[in-house]
Each structure stands twice: as structure tokens, then as C-alpha cells.
Amino acid sequence: MRFIQCLFVSFLLTVLFSCPVFSAEHRADQVPSIPLDFTVTYPEKFRLTNGIEVFFKQDSELPLVDVSVVVEAGKIGVPNNMAGLDELVAALLRNGGAGQLNAELLDQRLEDLAARVQVKASTYTTSFDLSLLREDAEEGVELLASMVQSPKFDAQRFTVNQQKLLESIRRRGDRMTSLAQQVLFSQLYAGHPLADFSRHETVLPLTVDDVKRYYQQHFTPQRTRIAISGDMTVGEAEQWLQRTFGGWLKQGGDSALPHFKDTNPSGTVLVHRPIPQTTILLGEIGIEKSNPDLHAVQVMNYILGGGGFSSRLMREIRSNRGLAYSVYSYFSVGRRLLGPFIAGCETKNESVAEVVNLMSAQMETIRLQPITEQELNQAKDSLINSFVFTFENPHALTKRIMSQQMYGYPEHYLDEYRQRIAAVTVADVQRVALTYLHPDQQLLILVGDREALQPSLKQLGGSVEEIELGDLL
């Protein structure tokens, strides 16, 4: 019955969010442009007796409850020779049993509740996400608390998850963009945990005891935050969470953020794959969240390669010349360390030099020539009007605000976002392009056929380093 109820709720959500606002007889150019009015409604906050901060948002539109537990423990804390450990920890936290329930019983109980549960490791955190019906929320929170605080780390499930990870690494050789990104990060962040990726030689020696030691060191209430939203009162939420999480008093070891020094690598790196198409990535170290130029950089990148078919890279390389299906660029804004700027596409082997030169030329143009007012206004309007849609639902907004506080974003970042985008000028765009784009110093990653790429490599010139596929897997 619970499963059917959840299906019905999911159906309602699908209908609500897929229905067109206008009938098919309305043309886009006939629809009046109405400024989107959106006000950020911040969640309530309270603390449990052990110090865990909770972000609460009541939302009684549907009989659902969503809970997210975020622990500051991720890839950044894993030693180089154990890369992939964070992924195994997350997998076992989800399916390795918890509390008094072994792995099979935990899976069965969550299935009986029709609960959607996900545990995911990222660069800085491991997050637990739970969604279920209001009538089952109290029991669901209890199960989630046991997964966070008293995981069983079943040895048999460890072996299964380890084999799955090894198979995923093996298949990485068939995913050219993943290979290119792995090489790019390994070069840009050389010597830092951000450069480390799971490989057979780092995953195969891992044991369930390694998982337990990592958990004991990093998973503590001092590093934990909770976001909860849905059909309940703040009193109910506080009662549930205090009873299930408030008694968690474990202490862990210190975890300092590893220092990163930008070495500004350049040149060309090639990974040989005998295929007729080459994956291209151009990259360099970019910016982090507290950079005062953040909003101007976002506008600039929208015009360069972040705006889809309205961007210069897409227009020049796909629309005008038909050299690639998709071309893009983005600044991955670092939350605690400088994030990368990346521009990329895929093209046939014989077109690689032409495409790389065109991408660099577009970057040089936006550096040296002012953009048009039309480009500026289109970019700003798109970024401002799409802002509201970055929050899928009240829980997404609650979790976003919690995450931004954890990473030290300015208190009113969301309130001021649209105003700061609107304030960007033509001169700002050119200034930040000159400051943060360096096409003559960028690292070029090519994943493609070695022999077929020789003419392009000669045309591009410069040093070429070749990395064997086996060194990446």
C-alpha cells in the first residue's frame, strides 16, 4: 500500500511539473515577457544537544518528508594510495547494514517503507538523502540515524561493492570524457587529493577494516549538518532528530584541508584510443566562491560557451562550421579551493587542430574585444530568469542554504545573486576575460587515435606528453 501511495504522489509531481503553461497554439514570440518574481524563503534553524545544526522548512503541499544528512568527509581526506575509499565507504553506509539490522534486513525495511535512500561521496562531503511518506517519517529517520551513526559494514557487501567499483574503473576506458577529465585534474592539481582518482592498484588492496578506520576518523556530529523539510511541524522535526541524533557524541580525528599551489601546467597530453573521434578539453585553474569577480565571470562564460546555442563557441564551431555536435565551457567555482575552467567538445580526428584553434581564438576575442550590449543583456536575462529554477523544490533550497553556510558563502548570497548579475557591465566582462582566461597557457587534453592525430599535433606545435590508458585504470 505504501508503495502505491508513493507512486501516486510521484505521479502528481510529474503532472504538476510537466504540464505546459501555454497551449500549443501559442507561439514563443507571442508570449508576453513577464519578470519572474521570486523571494528566497530561508529555513528555520535549531541545534540538537550535541551541537548538530538543523535546517528546517515546513512544506505541507504533499504528504512527504525529505531528510538530508551531510558529513564533512569526502575524497579530500583520502590518501593517494587509497583513492576510491570514499566511494566504498558511501556504498557500505547505504547497503552494509546498520544498528540491529543486517544488510538484507535494512534493505527490506527501507523497501517496505517505499523509502528512497541515497548515500553519495563527493569532494568534501558524504551525504545521506531520504525521502518517504509522512506517515513513515519517524521510523525512516530512525533508520537513517542508524545508518549514519552505527553502520555494520558487512564484509560480504564490501566485497560486492569493491568488485563493482573495479568494474566501473575498467569501463572508464570506454568513456572518453571521463578519461579526459581524469587526466586534466591529475595535471592541474598534481600532488593534491583533487588529482587522485580510483584505480585498480588503489582499490584492490582495500579492506573492510580500511573502511571502518576512515569512518571512525571522519564521521562525527561535529562535522554533521541536517536539512529536513516536508509535512511536519518544527516541533515534530526537533523531537524526531533529538531522539535519534542528539545522543551521538563520538569524537574523531582532526582533518586539515590539504594545501594547494597552482603550478600553472600547460602543453598537450594525449591518451591513445583507436577511435575516429577525439575528445578535447582545454583547462586552467580558475576561481573560488569568495572571488569578487564571480558574477562577472558567470556572465562572461555564458557568452563564451555556457549559454548553449547562444554562446560563441557553439555558434562558431557547430552552427557555422559543423565541426562538433556540442561545444561548451564552464568555471567550476571552487567551494574551498580554486576550481578549474574547462572548455571542451568532441570532433573527428582530422578536425582537431582547427577546432582547438577556433576555441582559443574565441577566448582571445572575448579578452580583447568588448562584447555587444545585446550579448550582455541576453546573458544577464537568462541567468537571472533561470535562477528560480535552480531550486527544484523546498528541500532542494533548504539543502542548498545549508551547504552554502557550511562552505562559508556570504549570508545573503542568494538574495543578492540577481542584483549582482544585473550589475555586470560590458567592461566587467572584458576585464574578467583578460584576468581569468589564458588561452596561450592552457592545458590541452586529447583522447583519440595517436596516428590519426599526428597532423593536428604538428600543426598545434608544442610539447606532447602521452599517458597510457593502463596508468589511468
Q: Which residues pair with 47 in a beta bridge?
A: 53
Question: The C-alpha cell of 389 is what?
Answer: 529554477
Name the CA dihedral angle for 126, 132, 135, 140, rounded to a multiple of 10 degrees: -30
The two beta strands, 53-58 and 277-285, are unpaired
Question: The C-alpha cell of 53 is what?
Answer: 545544526
Alpha carbon distance 150, 63 (integer Å): 29
> Which phi and psi (to 5°) does residue 46 adopt?
-150, 165
Question: The C-alpha cell of 349 is what?
Answer: 580526428
Q: CB-side exposure of 458: number of CA atoms within 13 Å? A: 5
Q: Which residue has the higher pLDDT, 4 or 308?
A: 308
Average pLDDT over residues 355-365: 97
Using a pLDDT cut of 70, give the percent of the chain over it. 91
Three-class secondary structure assignment of the chain:
CHHHHHHHHHHHHHHHHHCCCCCCCCCHHHCCCCCCCCCCCCCEEEECCCCCEEEEEECCCCCEEEEEEEECCCHHHCCHHHCCHHHHHHHHHHHCCECCECHHHHHHHHHHCCCEEEEEECCCCEEEEEEEEHHHHHHHHHHHHHHHHCECCCHHHHHHHHHHHHHHHHHHHHCHHHHHHHHHHHHHCCCCHHHCCCCHHHHCCCCHHHHHHHHHHHCCHHHEEEEEEECCCHHHHHHHHHHHHCCCCCCCCCCCCCCCCCCCCCEEEEEECCCCEEEEEEEEECCECCCCCHHHHHHHHHHHHHCHHHCHHHHHHHHCCCCCCCEEEEECCECCCCCEEEEEEEEEHHHHHHHHHHHHHHHHHHHHCCCCHHHHHHHHHHHHHHHHHHCCCHHHHHHHHHHHHHCCCCCCHHHHHHHHHHCCCHHHHHHHHHHHCCCCCCEEEEEECCCCCHHHHHHHCCCEEEECHHHHC
Average pLDDT over residues 173-177: 91
Query: Over the chain, what is the mean pLDDT?
Result: 89
Instruction: Compute the Cα dihedral for 395, 398, 399, 400 and give only its sign.
Output: positive
Whether the pLDDT of residue 226 is over 50: the answer is yes
The two beta strands, 44-47 and 126-133, are unpaired
Say how far residue 325 (Cα) sits from the centre of its chain: 24
Tens-place pLDDT, residues 83-124? 999 999 999 999 999 999 999 999 999 999 999 999 999 999
Residue with cell 551531510: 70
Average pLDDT over residues 279-284: 97
Q: Residue 134 carries which side chain, given as an amino acid letter?
A: R
Instruction: Compute the Cα dihedral for 335, 336, 337, 338 and give only its sign.
Output: positive
pLDDT band at 415 (very low <50, low <70, confident <90, very high): confident
Tens-place pLDDT, residues 30-59? 334 445 566 788 899 999 999 999 999 999
Residue with cell 528555520: 44
pLDDT value of position 29:
35
Using a pLDDT cut of 90, give the percent of the chain over it. 80
Question: The C-alpha cell of 336 is what?
Answer: 574551498
* Burial per residue of 416-440, b for 16 or more beta-carbon CB atoms within 10 angstroms, e otherwise: ebbeebeebeeebbbebbeebbbbe
The reported pTM is 0.87
Question: The C-alpha cell of 244 is what?
Answer: 535519534
Question: What domains are defined for the chain?
Answer: 44-245 (3.30.830.10), 267-472 (3.30.830.10)
Contact 428, 299 (CB under 8 A): yes
Torsional class of 454: left (φ above 0), alpha (ψ -120 to 50), beta (otherwise): alpha
pLDDT value of position 37:
60
Alpha carbon distance 202, 196 (integer Å): 10
Average pLDDT over residues 329-350: 94
Average pLDDT over residues 164-181: 94
Q: Residue 125 carries which side chain, given as an amino acid letter?
A: T
